[in-house]
Structure 1
Amino acid sequence: MSTSPNNSSNSLATAVAASSPSQFSTAKGTILRGYLSKKGHVIKNWKLRLFVLKIGSNYIEYYVDESKESTNSPRGKIPLYNCRCAEYVHTKNNNPREYCFNIETFEGKSWIISAGTKDQQVQWIESIKEAASYAEETDESKLAKHKQIEKMIQDDMRHKSRVPIIKLLLLGTGESGKSTVVKQMKILHSKGFTDEEKDFYRRLVHRNVIDGMAILVHTIQEHGIQVAPETRAAIEQFASWFQVYQASRPSLRLSNNHSPMNTPKLTSSSSSISSTSISPNTSFNLNDAAASSSELGQLSTSFEANASLVEDKGIPTHISELINKIWSDSIVQTDVIIKAQRYHINDSVKYYLNELSRLIKADYTPTSFDILSSRSQTTGVIETDFKVADVMFKIVDVGGQRGERKKWIHFFEDVTAIVYVAAINEYDQMLVEDGSANRLQESLTLFDQVCNDASFPNSSVILFLNKIDLFQEKLKRISMQTCFPEYKEDQTYERASNYIKNLFLSKRKQSSKFVYSHFTCATDTKSFEKVFSSVQDIILSNVLDATVV
């Protein structure tokens, strides 16, 4: 039972020392209660208060006494989201106090609290850190902060003659979703996509469909998966057409920024693939008794004219029928597509194949979600500008593959903040460029380097833990221990996602550098808009604070 506060000022220290926190569990999580002394923010005296910490809550609440707790009338609340808690040595005004700790909130406000014993101090610090790892930013806090930021920007602009520029460097490993973040910015803040861009993405969607089906075909052949006879016949015809199409199709680029993702090369040769990776030089063993080489050659010749027109006219009707026939096989939609992840099949292929009847229409124009789901490898550098609340944002997106990272150093100058994107669903996948390296482990290593790089010591780091929708689905069938053998928690999204988040946050070596983490689904415009609004406020607040004289 918690000790009640002593009303005599002479016995305050005794009461604090005697107060030990009580800890017990409820359906909502562990609760930590205890009387602690809090230093006032206005009148700098110490007041004994009953502090209550519920794991799973977004606040620590403190009360005058237990009677106020019973009526749910807290004296105050301390927000836990992204807060810092550490031991604090209080020696001001010749009045030293032992066993203090400081809680610094996300908004920069500090609470200095004094415990009664060393054990109590340690217990509270550790419990607050644990609770903070699960806490989320409240809507009230977001709204108040957003209004404050807008007012500060308006006040700041009255004293400046030019629009301030915020430079964001978008980093992460390949296929983490960085380019999707840029697409969302265009949708939300840059009037969407031009007609030229929409035509590019129309072609890219069709190419994603065709290449995705080619990987599924390869998976069937490589693993000897038994499919229905009509599926096998469709596979043979598609494979023959694909080898002609792939050999004749032109490069697909938009402003020299993108190149097609890794795609397979299907042939009817007798050599079988010996590597688990797919590259343009890969050969596939598609010889079957049902079709002779001469028959396949005849099919190739008859399809050649259509293959050269795909980029302009779209997927030929008879090819879309073959694709639909293969995809309609239940084995392809279950066992095959799961195994195809080994060959780096795009996450969006399933969505596109389910939407095939719409995508092949003559008047097809890609929707925003179609564009967000499209995949192409970023090569070089893409700079995207957009204006929000009288501030110009410049996002610099550079390729994430190992060969592209040497270009990053040229863009470190004048960086306001780093946006690091990590695809947490890739905990069981390997790199395209290195089949022995786990993607998520690679991302952790790269984040360590980025977060602690001396090139931008004053830049904030925004961490997007991306593709949570795919992560939730994958947790149902693939153990986290695939990537983290030491993981002992259950496979629930809350436990697994927070475990990964804490691994990333643990990489920070400079205590002065803030890392703001957010779980994201970059293809979900509505939820991403909320996330970026929060990120925007963080960045602008930090910039304005830095300019205050």
Structure 2
Amino acid sequence: MGVCISSNSPHYHIDGNSSASKERSYAIDRQIEEDAKKYKRECKILLLGSGESGKSTIVKQMKIIHQNGYTREELLLFKLTIYKNIIDSAQAVVVAMRKLKLDPVEPINQSYSDKILDYVLDFNQHGGGLNPEIVRAIESLWHDPIIPAVLDRGSEFYLMDSAGYFFDQVTRIGLAEYIPNEVDVLMARTKTTGISETKFKSGQLSIHMFDVGGQRSERKKWIHCFEAVTSIIFCVALSEYDQVLLEESGQIDIFKAKLPKVPLERFFPEYTGGNDVNKAAKYILWRFTQLNRARLSIYPQYYRMLYGIAVFSNQI
């Protein structure tokens, strides 16, 4: 059974030449044209990579460069994160020392090691800064002569790249009046869960940058982000070719220092560049380009790092 409507029906007459129809047609055309112009000025960038490869640091850099940086209130929000980074890293060092059977040279640092391991960070009692005793313990242990030997075996345990920076700055950070600066924020490590979007302008472009969780448990959330993506930035930490991942455990300065101690050819026998950091970096970039069987446009770039973190804004 069907329904037919005659074009001669007085109630359903359609005048294709009416001014109203033309106006609607023009309006639709104008909207399509405006949308096309708008989309040409929009850029959707997806940040991908493993945990601690630098994705969130790039987002922070975009805020500093394109959004006038962080307000005092925003900086203060990182305070507890930085405290946690310091305590977690100090405890990781102590656990590694015991696992590797490397004891402190200075007797007092044995006692300090116990204090560090037993310390529990109270998130409700840090308006006055870090506990002065734990600050002294971390500073003393960090300067113990055994520490270089521990760090030489850094591939055997997980330690965040910015741990050394925070240990060097622990006295300043422990003060009651401490307010994180932008370098502290760039160094701070927070596990990215889910998807976060950052919007900013760069010239005539309106950029939407999406940071997604790098841990394997987060990767199932990536797929729907690929719709209408303009560019993908895939981040890789060059210095982690011999390291365990955070999600599996229990960048250039670091890479350069590591090459003589942990030869790249140990993991990639076909590599023949020795300890030359540029040759090693180019080799790793070449390995990625060999996976580009679809011949997509790739623009590889590597950045100088400070404690493994891309803190140099002029390179971003």
With the shorter chain as reference, the TM-score category is 0.7 to 0.9
- The offset of 1:382, in angstroms, is 0.9
Separation in 2 of the partners of 1:416 and 1:355?
40
- The offset of 1:528, in angstroms, is 2.0
1:504 aligned residue: 288
Q: Which entry has the higher C-alpha Rg, 1 or 2?
A: 1
- The offset of 1:340, in angstroms, is 4.3
Q: Sequence identity of aligned pairs in percent?
A: 33
Q: Residues 28-427 of structure 1 correspond to what in structure 2 (within 5 A)?
A: 160=37, 164-227=41-104, 228-240=106-118, 242=119, 245-246=120-121, 249=122, 308-310=124-126, 312-332=127-147, 334-427=148-241
Q: Deviations over 1:258-293 (max 9, x none)?
A: xxxxxxxxxxxxxxxxxxxxxxxxxxxxxxxxxxxx
Match for residue 315 of structure 2 among 528, 532, 536: 528
Separation in 1 of the partners of 2:246 and 2:39?
44
Separation in 2 of the partners of 1:486 and 1:163?
44
1:256 aligned residue: none
- The offset of 1:366, in angstroms, is 1.5
**What TM-score do the two structures reach when normalised by structure 2?**
0.81
> How many matched pairs?
277
Separation in 2 of the partners of 1:364 and 1:433?
31
Q: Unpaired runs of 5+ in structure 1?
A: 1-156, 251-307, 436-466, 530-549
Give the 4+ runs in structure 1 shifted more than 4 A: 159-163
Change (3 A) 1:498 1:160: closer
Change (3 A) 1:162 1:474: closer
Match for residue 298 of structure 2 among 515, 528, 542: 515
Query: CA-atom RMSD, angstroms?
Result: 2.2
Separation in 1 of the partners of 2:203 and 2:95?
50
Change (3 A) 1:162 1:403: closer
Q: Deviations over 1:146-187 (max 9, x none)?
A: xxxxxxxxxxx9x95788221100001111111001111011
Change (3 A) 1:489 1:341: closer
After TM superposition, the structure 1 stretch with the greater mean CA deviation from structure 2, 368-377 or 475-484, is 475-484
SS of the equivalent of 1:231 reads: helix
Change (3 A) 1:351 1:341: farther
**Contact persistence 1:348–1:374 (CA under 8 A):** yes
Match for residue 433 of structure 1 among 232, 240, 247: 247
- The offset of 1:339, in angstroms, is 2.9
Separation in 2 of the partners of 1:382 and 1:341?
30
Separation in 2 of the partners of 1:496 and 1:402?
27
- The offset of 1:195, in angstroms, is 3.1
SS of the equivalent of 1:378 reads: coil
Read off the aligned partner of 1:516 and give its amino acid letter: Y
- The offset of 1:313, in angstroms, is 2.8
